[in-house]
Structure 1
Amino acid sequence: MNQYNPPKKTGSLLERAGEIYDYIPAVRTEEQRDNAPKSAPPETPARQVIPVRQRPVEAYDGPTVIVDRDKLRDAGFIVPDGPVTGISEEFRIIKRQLLLAAKGSQKMAPLPRGERILICSAHPDEGKTFCALNLALSIAAEKDNEVLLVDADFAKPSILSSLGLEGSKGLMDALADPQLPVENCIIHTDIPGLAILPAGDQTNADTEYLASSRTEQVLNRLTQNNPNRIVIFDSPPALSASPASVLAMHVGQVLMVVKADETTETALRDALSLLGGCDHIQLLLNGTKFSPTGRRFGSYYGYGE
């Protein structure tokens, strides 16, 4: 078991993970601007400011695939339109912080490329795909956003099988073939707000394709016509495959999944150093068997586990 100081009695899962592993995420900040009102020149008439409205994006009305809800339920994932559970409440809390960083607020500017979120771990079997899929399902329930879940674990893709879907062309195919529009690889599901971009066929040069200039062009196409889309990447483990470090340079946020009592501090720090291409990294403590506050998420609604 890792050595750590007892956590505080309050704080989110992200904050508790950071405290346990003595890690302070790097948060990009901006200099304070002088907001003091300045008087206009005496003879300059005041101008009326007219807000500019973004043109709404038309809803997709093409073919969709049916996600196996029973398969989701049996595997412990959030079930769309299902009852409120402890796991669904936890991911509601987690997604709110990520969406705030992506969209900004009156007190903070949005992170550059904050709508792209990389879910990673140090080693396999620490819960990154479980967290990526649950986070995507939770964001899909938002009224003002939709989510595109990208299976970027090219060596061992598992998103489609977790949803009970068939394989198809995906991200790596679009990177390798300039004639293949990445939009044509997206799978739209019958879950409102949820679309999937499969990993595609693995190559012997996955990392090199990701490091090419074409990657940024392809990723920009995922959101350029849909400003309300959040893109979540299910990454390979950082210490097991090289694509994770390259993917980190293309996103605005990284969520590092840390498995309680299994992920060592050394492994975590080594993984974080490889993901230094992203300036905004947070930790998600997964698989905890205790709650310092005794709180059981979801119990307020009568569905506590």
Structure 2
Amino acid sequence: MSTIEKAVTKLNRDNTGRSESSAQQSSEQLQVHEPIAVKPQVVQEASAGHDNSSHTVQLNLAMLEKNNFVSLSKERRLINEEYRVIKRKLINNAFGALSKTLQHPNLILVTSSRPGEGKTFSAINLALSIALEQDKTVLLVDADVLRPNVSKTLNISHNLGLTDYLQSTDVTVPDILLSTNVERLKLITAGSPHHLSTELLASERMSQLVNEFASRYSDRIVIFDAPPLLGVNETAVMAAMCGQAVIVVEENRTRLAEIEQSVSLLPEEMAVGFLINKAHRNQGKGYGYGYYYGAS
């Protein structure tokens, strides 16, 4: 039994009143964690989509596909199929029966126990996959203000982001909100480094922003790419504002004790899922992803 399976079994034994569902598949393509080389283009716009965003970034979708991210093309790819399984549970939690028991069920925290387990890769793929939905929109927020990786991975740049908004009332949501050439996908970068990042994320201004994210659009899912749970305070602060969490773990690397410690830092009422990164299966398919859902 793998480390993550032991963790899920323990969670379910301790919390018998909630249900667990699991989905796992495999792929040969899923070992991408390095920033990719794309050429960004920033375009000024008066408005984009149904948000009052003032900037658009062009994502190099061909390069993303080449680097084994979820593809927006018509080609059928294993990674697309895997993330369809993963996102379906999250969407059901956000808008289905369970949503009535969660605070801000459409706000999803993506994190890990330690750095390097693939949380940013997973957060971007979840956002791309949800953007393929015909009746949902997705906002990807780089909330890893200590070591921001969404902008680095997508190779986009913007001079204002989350921390800039939180520390200045002169910065507005349209100033930090980026539309993309993916119709239903928007981005917010991490912003300027700040020594009071925990205090900024715990501020009333952040709480108001999160409430706006949760309620402004009935069809929107917000994904926060957050710092790892262990060793920092920012992620626990963010978790208190979200209804769901996805903990990315690397099979044969992440320890059971680390998973248990990570889960203990999350609110008890939160819906918690595990996404297995680089899980080696014996079906001859190489590396892949699995998703185990458990409610804490």
TM-score by length of 2: 0.78
Question: 2:208 and 2:130 mapped to 1: Cα distance?
Answer: 25
Residue 59 (structure 2) pairs with residue 67 (structure 1): yes
1:133 maps onto 2:124 in alignment: yes
- 1:204-215 alignment to 2 at 5 Å? 204-215=195-206
Q: Is the 8 A contact 1:153 1:236 kept in 2?
A: yes
Tell me how far apart the structure 2 counterparts of residues 23 and 264 of structure 1 sit (CA, whole Å): 14
In the other structure, the counterpart of 1:180 is: 171
Q: Describe the superposition over 1:255-305 as per-residue Cα deviations: whole angstroms up to 9, x where unpaired.
A: 1111100000111111111223652211111111105798999xxxxxxxx
> How big is the shift at 1:167?
3.0
Measured in 2, the distance between the counterparts of 1:244 and 1:145 equals 26
Q: Which moved more, 1:253-262 or 1:222-231?
A: 222-231
Check conservation: 1:183, 1:222, Cα contact below 8 A. Answer: no
AA in 1 matched with 2:84: R
Q: Is the 8 A contact 2:4 2:256 kept in 1?
A: no
How far 1:248 moved relative to its partner? 0.5
What is the letter of the counterpart of residue 253 of structure 1?
Q
Return the offset for 1:183.
3.2
Which of residues 97, 112, 118 in structure 2 aligns to 1:121?
Answer: 112
Correspondence list, 1:30-45, <5 A:
none
Q: Does 1:272 align with 2:259?
A: no
Alignment partner, residue 303 of structure 1: none
Cα separation, partners in 2 of 1:190 and 1:140, compared to 1, 3 Å: same
1:164 paired residue number: 155
2:80 paired residue number: 88
Equivalent residues of 1:133, 1:159 under 8 A apart? yes
Give the whole-Å Cα distance in 2 for the aligned partners of 1:259 and 1:69: 26
Query: Residue type matched to 1:263 in 2?
Result: T
- Residue from 176, 180, 183 that aligns with 1:189: 180
Deviation at 1:100, TM superposition (A): 0.4
Q: State how far apart, in whole Å, the 2-side matches of 1:175 and 1:159 are.
A: 19
What does residue 231 of structure 1 align with? 222
Give yes or no for the alignment of 1:99 onto 2:86. Answer: no
Deviation at 1:17, TM superposition (A): 4.1
The counterpart of 1:256, out of the listed 242, 247, 257, is: 247
Range that drifts further, 274-283 or 140-149: 274-283
The corresponding residue for 1:300 is none
Residue of structure 1 equivalent to 2:32: none
Equivalent position of 2:236 in the other structure: 245
In the alignment, residue 82 of structure 2 is paired with which amino acid?
E
Shift of 1:72: 1.0
Match of 1:22 among 6, 9, 26: 9
Would you say the 8 A contact 1:72–1:162 is kept in 2?
no
- Decide whether the 8 Å contact of 1:256 with 1:283 is kept in 2: yes
Separation (CA, whole Å) in 1 of partners of 2:256 and 2:171 = 42
Deviates more, 1:232-241 or 1:288-297: 288-297
Q: In the alignment, is residue 150 of structure 1 matched against residue 141 of structure 2?
A: yes
**Would the alpha carbon gap of residues 100 and 20 (structure 1) be closer, same or farther in structure 2, given more than 3 Å must change?**
same
- Counterpart amino acid of residue 201 in structure 2: L
Rg (Cα) greater in structure: 1
RMSD over aligned Cα, in angstroms? 2.9
Identity of aligned residues (%): 32
- Between structures 1 and 2, the one with greater strand share: 2
Change (3 A) 1:92 1:170: same
Task: Give the number of aligned pairs.
Answer: 256
SS in 2 for 1:288: strand
